[in-house]
Amino acid sequence: MLEGFESLRIARDGVTLKLRRAGQGAPLLLLHGHPQTHAMWHRVAPQLAQRFQVVLMDLRGYGDSDRPAAGAESANYARREMAKDALHVMGQLGHAQFQVLAHDRGARVAHRLALDHPQAVQRLMLLDIAPTLAMYRNTTEAFARAYWHWFFLVQPPPLPEALIASDPARYVRSVMGARHAGLAVFAPEALAEYQRCAAIPGTAESICADYRASAGIDLRHDQADQDAGRKLAQPLRVLWGEHGAVGRCFDVPALWRAAASDFTGRSLGCGHYIAEEAPALLLDETLNFFRSNP
C-alpha cells in the first residue's frame, strides 16, 4: 500500500509523529479515524497525489506515532493538542497554509484545527461526523447502541484498557465489523495494519485517553466557542454515509450550518468508512472541492 510515499517522522514537544507524503501542488493534509491509521487512505491517496502534495499523518496514540501519557483530564489527547501536532507537522514541511480532508476522530481534530488556526486551514472536508458537542448533547438510544465504544472507552481505568489490551485485534474487528459494510470492505493488508498498530504497547491507554478527552476537556473548549459565537470561517464540505449512524441519528446539515459560515454537504450511498467503501465517490468530491494550485 502507498508505494512511492515517503516516510517521515517529525517531533513536537517530545512526541514523535509518523507521516507519509507524495505528490506536488497545493498541500493537502489527510487525518484518519479510530481505530485506524493513515493506511485508511490507501484507495484515494495515490490518485490525490497526482494533483496535490498529500500528507498522511498518524494521530498521536495511533499508528506508528508516539503514545504519550494521558496527563490530567487526558489533556495530552485533547483535540486542541492534536491540532497543534498537525499544524506543527505542516509547518515543518514548509506549509503555512493547507487544506484538510479528515475522517471520524481525525475530522474532530480537523474541526478544532480550523477553529484555532483559521489562518492556516484554507478549506476543510469532514467525513461522517457532526459537531462533537451537539452529538453528546443530543445522544439517543439508537446512537448509543451504534456508537457503544464512545461510552465504553470513557469509563474509569483500568477496565477498558485491560479489555482492549487482552485482544487488540478482536477490538478492532468488533468496532469496524459491526458497521454497515462489515469487515469485507477492508483490504486485508489495511485491516492487518490496523490490527498491528492496535497491538503496540500503550495503544489501549491512548485510545481511552482520546475518548475521555473528547467527553471532557474537548466539550469545554467546544462550549466556549459556542458561547463566544465562534464558527468555522473556511469553506466546509461534509460528507456522511447514508447507512451510517451519524446520518440516521442527527440532522447533520442543520448542526453544521450552526457551526460554520460556509457549509455544503451531502450523504453518500455507503456507511461510515467512506474512503474504503466509496473511494470513487470520495475522489470526485475531493477533486471538485479542493484547489489543486498552491
Categorise residue 143: left if φ over 0, alpha if ψ from -120 to 50, beta otherwise. Answer: alpha
Which triple of cell numbers denotes residue 97? Answer: 497554509
**Cα–Cα distance measured from residue 150 to residue 144, given in angstroms and rounded to the nearest whole number:** 8
Q: What is the pLDDT of residue 204?
A: 98
Bond preceding residue 158 cis, omega within 30 of 0 = yes
Sheet holding 263-268, edge to edge: 6-12, 15-22, 53-57, 27-31, 98-103, 121-127, 236-241, 263-268
Q: What is the pLDDT of residue 292?
A: 87
pLDDT per residue of the chain (294 residues) written in tens, 0 to 9: 899 999 999 999 999 999 999 999 999 999 999 999 999 999 999 999 999 999 999 999 999 999 999 999 999 999 999 999 999 999 999 999 999 999 999 999 999 999 999 999 999 999 999 999 999 999 999 999 999 999 999 999 999 999 999 999 999 999 999 999 999 999 999 999 999 999 999 999 999 999 999 999 999 999 999 999 999 999 999 999 999 999 999 999 999 999 999 999 999 999 999 999 999 999 999 999 999 887
Is 104 catalytic? The answer is yes
Among 265, 11, 221, CA closest to 108 = 221
Q: Are 57 and 17 in contact (CB under 8 A)?
A: yes
Which triple of cell numbers denotes residue 119? Answer: 489562518
Which triple of cell numbers denotes residue 225? Answer: 466557542
**Cα–Cα distance measured from residue 144 to residue 141, given in angstroms and rounded to the nearest whole number:** 5
Q: What is the CA 283 to chain-centroid distance, rounded?
A: 17
Q: What is the pLDDT of residue 281?
A: 98
Q: What is the pLDDT of residue 294?
A: 72
- Can you tell me which residue has the cell 450511498? 269
Question: Which entry of 38, 111, 149, 272 is annotated as an active-site residue?
Answer: 272
Q: What is the pLDDT of residue 170?
A: 98
The contacts of residue 34 (CB under 8 Å, 6+ apart) are 62, 104, 105, 149, 175, 207, 210
> What is the CA angle 255-206-190, rounded to 5?
80
**Cα–Cα distance measured from residue 195 to residue 173, given in angstroms and rounded to the nearest whole number:** 8
Among 6, 20, 4, 34, CA closest to 89 = 20
Which triple of cell numbers denotes residue 123? Answer: 478549506
Is 243 catalytic? The answer is no
Q: What is the pLDDT of residue 293?
A: 81
Question: Which entry of 58, 66, 85, 104 is annotated as an active-site residue?
Answer: 104
